[in-house]
Structure 1
Amino acid sequence: MGHSDYKRDPESLRDVASKRPWWTPFSLCLTFLCLCLLRVTIVPHCFGRWSFSWNILSRLGKNSSLAPFYAYSEGSGEFDKPQGFDIVALVPFRHWQRTEILNCYLRNNLVSNHGLVDQVMFLPQTNDARGLEWLASIVEQNPSYTLAQGDPRLQLDQLKKDTLYIWIDGDIVFLEDHTISTVVKTKLEHPDLPLVSANVINEAALEALHSHASVALPYLPELSPTQSSSEIEMHDWRASRLPPWEGPSDFTIDKGFAPPFTSHRWLLSGCYNYSLTPISMAKYAPEGPSMHHWTVNAQQHYSFLHHLELNHLNRYKFPTWSVPSTKISLNFLCFWGSVATNRLLKEFDSMTFLKPLADDQAGENSIIDGKGLAVHYSSSQGLEGLDSTDLLKRYQSFAEEAICKGM
């Protein structure tokens, strides 16, 4: 009789080990060290297309990511809905094209679709007739949606103290499946902290973290229009279907860089161009753009779509960050209604009613849950900035394919 196939059987393990040559462990260790050396000296500085198909190290262990932290968050979506209180999403509304993308994720997280959100309240912050008409139409179609009427302050005064609220900016264009559940879970585990923020890409305290090499990749703008076989192919969200970047070897992006043309794409360049990218120039070159320039945001968004396709989102993650040294993002926050009614509603402006508390973060007021990602689309320059890219169409393409389809 042979040994069982049960791999934890110590006898079976001993039999297998005895058949190996004596030098096997040493050769494995040497191979591993060589691969590590190659990864450290070459791969972090080279982001060509070939480097992402070479995933030997990822098979050696799940901690092979170059991110400063690793947060294993699969399964967070299985967190059961807490009982005894409602969970309500508050969504300030300004741009219907962006909130149309967010709408896929909101619907996906409703209780009626096995999510945690009981109700979504939209807070209009625009006078755009077309946008308000679109908003009224989606509220009419979904019984879990409500629309604040009149002065937003009056609506916010009606928040219930025993309700858990999630402030989701209407310009959020991506949510991981478990972002809401992990943020809610973290808030319940930290009842003493007023605010819990999601891991918002390239925002506030996380701006530097999300700009590390191997997270931010050397994407550069295409410099002239190209012919595409179809509109669908032109705006497919997958970065792998983009051609490589072509341009002069001395190309740089300075403070006054203007969009090359409307609806242009950003393309992956060779590793040798990383020092010329907007993020690198913003960090190390005085003539470079600021970290808030639209080109920096474009590079970050295209890098995110690259990692999204390859399932490398762990590069952005960390467990939790309590009381960060700089202000947290105001674009995705979880808090009890009692915090809002007692402190947040003392002041209000057209952008956000959370600013008063955010300005008072010297104490123990906040925590960032690094396990759930959100992507915020920020563009105040219109077609002179991020809107000159095709990013919104790419995020919409992903949402329609992966989130809205089948609902």
Structure 2
Amino acid sequence: MLSLSNKHIVHALLGASLVFVSLLVYVWNFHLLPGDVFGGHHRGGPGGPPDFDHDDRCPRGSRRHGNTTYCVPREIGGVWWKRPSDATKIMGLIFYGRRSTVSILDCYLKRNLAKNGGILDGVIFLQRTTDADDLKFLKKLLASEPAYEKWEIDMSEGGFASSYDRIQDDVMYVKMDDDIVYIEDSAIPSVVTTRAEHPEFFVVSSNVINQPLISWIHWNLGAVKAYLPELNKAYPAPKPGEKLDWRPSMLPSWQGSDDFEVSEWNPPDHQKHRWLPVKGHSDHILDRTPIVETEYDPFGPGWKKWQVAAQEHYSLFENIENDNLRQYRFGTWDFQLKRMGIQFIAMMGKDINLAKPIAADDEHHFAVTMPEQTGRHAVADGGGVVSHFSFGAQAGDERIEQTDVLDRYRAYAEEYICKGPMLWDPVLDNHDES
């Protein structure tokens, strides 16, 4: 039998062992495992990283957003997002010019503000228009949200170089064109996280619908569907008081001859029209559609052809309706010094300032010149989809504006994204509102 003193020694050793094991578990759970060790990737879901950096002032599953008072979910749109360690703020940077598209984008920007559960601390609108009606709308836009601000830009020298005069080193900027008309919830967290995890990248693009090189990728991923323009029928505009249904499943099948050449087709007499799904085929489904002309070329048909853009936009509506955005997914795509589009990109302010003086062609400067000089490439992050309405080569009379694509993006945003009425309605055309 153990003596009384030996029993005390055994009990003491057992107690010390339990304390040591408890301490080890605590350190393991809360200090040794950073959130991104699970698979080494920032996309989560049920198997994503637990809430190690929980802030007692925030609900479980959220954390304090930088130096703000906002509690932001750690997982947004399936992304366990990461803030760049050297970024004091994450700001949207919008090259503003057109109320017709910005009135749609506005709903997505507000949805992505930190105060509303996103990760943008605010949004800067770069005024790049002198149109009186568009400027009137910008004033209304700024009054609608305290987190919005305006920078006036000197446009006298042309190009876009002056747009970056007020950039700050310690801010991450998510730069967007003003005709971004759809932003998946995962898009902003995903590009920000990719840049945070990979500071070796100079610039990170989102997964952009209607961007020439990425259009080629989407085609080869099978995300683009067969659509052709409706022929010989007047556009069935909604009756007064009715809303356009954006869903492609409500459309009839395309009807037309087998020798129809869409590549050179334009809507007659400036008439509005819609595009229809090509049904009833099991093979060679895309052969007669515009996407087959697309090349891995920044100035190829994917940039020039408005018909390619129309097919891509309708395909996105179909994939949204069928909960099939996974068809667009890829990891990180390195453009290997080819000219990447910068319609929706994440950059640290210090890298923008490093690139100064910026050439008038800022896209080539950021996507080609600076990656060549620094060895830090321009890449795309495939984790979240955004949609870019049109390029200048696709716009104009009897082109993309003659489709109902923008009406469909507006209808989708009104149904799912906007918290209230849009600030501008093309039907009411409230030019005279202050």
Q: Would you say same fold, with TM above 0.5?
A: yes
The answer to whether the 8 A contact 2:123-2:147 is kept is yes
TM-superposed deviation, 1:73: 6.4
1:270-320 alpha-carbon deviations (Å, 9 max, x no partner): 33663211222567xxxxx93331111111111111111101111111111
Structure 2, gaps ≥5 residues long = 1-41, 46-74, 156-160, 422-434
Q: 397, 407, 425: which is aligned to 1:383?
A: 397
The answer to whether the 8 A contact 2:339-2:364 is kept is no
TM-superposed deviation, 1:268: 0.5
Computing the radius of gyration from Cα coordinates, the structure with the larger value is 2
Matched, 1:356 2:359: no
Matched, 1:238 2:238: no
The answer to whether the 8 A contact 1:202-1:208 is kept is no
The amino acid that maps onto 1:115 is: G
1:115-150 alpha-carbon deviations (Å, 9 max, x no partner): 111111111222211111101111122111111124
Shifted more, 238-247 versus 151-160: the winner is 151-160
How many residues are paired up? Answer: 328
TM-score (norm 2): 0.69
2:380 aligns to what?
368
The amino acid that maps onto 1:109 is: N
Matched, 1:120 2:128: no
2:227 aligns to what?
219
The answer to whether the 8 A contact 1:89-1:167 is kept is yes
Q: 272, 275, 278: which is aligned to 1:269?
A: 278
TM-superposed deviation, 1:258: 1.4
Q: Secondary structure of the equivalent of 1:383?
A: coil
Which has the larger helix fraction? Answer: 1
1:90 aligns to what?
93
1:6 aligns to what?
none
TM-superposed deviation, 1:368: 1.3
Q: 396, 403, 406: which is aligned to 2:417?
A: 403
Flag the 1:243–1:235 CA change in 2: closer, same or farther, 3 A.
same
Shifted more, 99-108 versus 273-282: the winner is 273-282
Q: CA RMSD in A?
A: 2.6
1:248 aligns to what?
257
2:357 aligns to what?
346
Q: 312, 330, 350: which is aligned to 1:300?
A: 312
1:225-280 alpha-carbon deviations (Å, 9 max, x no partner): 154563676731111111111222322213x3212453210000133663211222
TM-superposed deviation, 1:114: 1.6
The answer to whether the 8 A contact 2:81-2:190 is kept is no
TM-superposed deviation, 1:214: 3.6
1:365-399 alpha-carbon deviations (Å, 9 max, x no partner): 22211111111011433232100100001001111
TM-superposed deviation, 1:353: 3.8
The answer to whether the 8 A contact 1:215-1:315 is kept is yes
Q: 95, 100, 103: which is aligned to 1:100?
A: 103
Distance across 1 between alignment mates of 2:337 and 2:171 = 29
The answer to whether the 8 A contact 2:128-2:153 is kept is no
TM-superposed deviation, 1:335: 1.1
Q: Secondary structure of the equivalent of 1:301?
A: helix
The answer to whether the 8 A contact 1:379-1:386 is kept is no
Flag the 1:184–1:226 CA change in 2: closer, same or farther, 3 A.
closer
For 1:111-190, what aligned pairs fall within 5 Å after superposition? 111-151=114-154, 156-190=164-198
Flag the 1:297–1:73 CA change in 2: closer, same or farther, 3 A.
farther
Distance across 2 between alignment mates of 1:116 and 1:240 = 34
Give % identity: 33
Structure 1, gaps ≥5 residues long = 1-70, 284-288
The amino acid that maps onto 2:123 is: V
Which of the pair has the greater relative contact order for Cα pairs under 8 Å at 6+ separation? 1
Matched, 1:326 2:355: no
TM-superposed deviation, 1:364: 2.8
